[in-house]
Amino acid sequence: MAVKIMLENVIKTFIIDGETLPTLGGVSLQVGAGEFVSLIGPSGCGKSTIFNIVCGLVRPDSGKVVLDGQPGKTPAEIISYMPQKDLLLPWRTILRNVILAREIQGDNLAKAIAEARQLLPLFGLQGFENSYPAELSGGMRQRVALMRTVLARREVLLLDEPFGALDAITRVNMQQWLLEVWHKFGYAVFFITHDVEEALFLSDRVYVLSPRPARVRLHLEVDLPRPRYRKMVTEERFLKLKNQVMDALEMV
C-alpha cells in the first residue's frame, strides 16, 4: 500500500508570551492510500497541530514529513483540508460554496458546476443548490463543507472533528453517510475526533496520543468487518477495542 502521509519523530514547541509550550514530543505515524485513519487524544494535546504541519501551515522543529512517498511533494498537490468549522461563505449559494476550491485553482467553472450538480444527491443536497448557508441545519452545512473538500479532487482528506458540534442523532447519521462517501471515492482520510466510538466505527487504524507534548501512546488496528453497521458498537469485539483505547487515554 502506498503511503500518502508519513510523520517520523516530529517535534514542535511553540513560544507563547515568552513561555515555551512543548506540543509534539516526537510523533510518528502514517496514512496509506485509501485508508481511513483516526487520531484521538486529550484536548489540547496537539492533534490540530499535526494537521497544520501536514498541510504546511506550521513547520516542525525537527523530524520528517513525507507526502505521497516523495520528499518534494507539496501539501497542495495531494491534500484537501476540512477544519472544525464549516467556514462557508454566507453570501454564496450552496452550489457556489462547494466549487470554491476549484474556482481558486482556476479550473473550468462550467465543468466544476456540472460535476457538483451530479454529486448533490449523494451529499443529500439536491434541491438546496440555490440556498444559502444560513438556511441550512448544522448537519447539512457539514455536508456542504465535506462536498467542497471532496470536489477539490485531492487524494487525501484531512477532517478535523467535522461532527463535533452536531447532536447525537445527527452525528450517528453523518458517520454512516461519511463511510458511504469514503467508499465511493476511495480517498485516504485522516480524521481527528474526541469520540472513541466514532474513531473505531469509522477507521481502519487509530492512533491514540498522550497529553502534551504528544507522543503516540497506542497504534490500534481496527479489525472489524466492513461495511460497518450501527449495532456493531454493542458487540464484544468492538467493546474490547474501545477498552484498549480508553485504557490508553487514561494513562496520564
Contact 120, 84 (CB under 8 A): no
Ranges of the chain whose pLDDT falls below 50: 252
Taking every pair of C-alpha atoms in the chain, what is the biggest distance, in angstroms? Answer: 54
Note the residue count of the chain. 252
Report if residue 102 sits inside a domain: no
Strand, coil or helix: 189: strand
Report if residue 111 sits inside a domain: no
CA 98 to each of CA 15, 83, 101: distance values in angstroms, whole numbers, following the listed order:
36, 15, 7
- The residue among 76, 42, 57, 43 whose CA lies nearest residue 12 is 57
Report if residue 106 sits inside a domain: no
Give me the pLDDT at residue 252, please: 44
Residue 22 corresponds to which cell in the numbers above? Answer: 512543548
Q: What type of residue sits at position 224?
A: L
Report if residue 112 sits inside a domain: no
Give me the pLDDT at residue 39, please: 97
Provide the domain limits for residue 234.
Answer: 3-84+154-249
- Separation between Cα atoms, residue 21 and residue 90, nearest integer Å: 36
CA-based R_g, the chain, Å: 18
Give me the pLDDT at residue 124, please: 87
Give me the pLDDT at residue 61, please: 95
Asked if the peptide bond before residue 75 counts as cis, ω within 30 degrees of 0, the response is no
Report if residue 139 sits inside a domain: no
Domain count, the chain: 1
6-42 tens-digit pLDDT: 999 999 999 888 889 999 999 999 999 999 999 999 9
- Separation between Cα atoms, residue 207 and residue 215, nearest integer Å: 10
Report if residue 120 sits inside a domain: no
Report if residue 97 sits inside a domain: no
User: φ and ψ at 237, to 5 degrees?
Assistant: -65, -40
CATH number of the domain to which 29 belongs: 3.40.50.300
Give me the pLDDT at residue 89, please: 94
- Separation between Cα atoms, residue 34 and residue 156, nearest integer Å: 8
Report if residue 126 sits inside a domain: no
